[in-house]
Amino acid sequence: MLSNLFGSLPPAGTADEVFNDLLAVPGLRIERIVSRGQCSPPGFWYEQGWDEWVLVLRGEAGLQIEGREDVLKLEAGDHAWLPAGRRHRVAYTSATETTLWLAVHRDRVPPG
């Protein structure tokens, strides 16, 4: 089946982030996230039991990662690795343009 990451984007006035699974197989999930000004609620942190790699395809976003003093700014083409258990939150996404993310979620592989 042929799909396009940039196709079928929600309209600009959409209030919520939109999450679409592009692929979900045992141990791996690839997700498209469409944001426009959304961020994590105050005090909320993601603390996942799986690894995540995120790539910003369009727009910009800021990730706050526990243990880092500064906010990690991501622009188109920038990507970040978030290992399982690494607490993080979305500090901001662009309010003036659509931020399009690709997130790859991988089940944690035990060492050895």
Domain positions in the chain: 18-107
Q: In what order do the strands lie in the sheet with 72-75?
A: 72-75, 60-65, 88-93
The pLDDT of residue 112 is 63
Find the radius of gyration of the CA atoms of the chain: 14
pLDDT band of 3, cuts 50, 70, 90: confident
CATH tag for 18-107 (out of 1.10.3720.10, 2.60.120.10, 3.30.360.10, 2.10.10.90): 2.60.120.10
Sign of CA dihedral 3, 10, 102, 31: negative
pLDDT band of 1, cuts 50, 70, 90: confident
Q: 5-54 pLDDT, tens per residue?
A: 888 888 777 778 899 999 999 999 999 999 999 999 999 999 999 999 99
Query: Measured between alpha carbons, how far is 70 from 7 in angstroms, rounded to an integer?
Result: 33
Report the predicted TM-score, pTM, of the whole model to 2 decimal places.
0.88
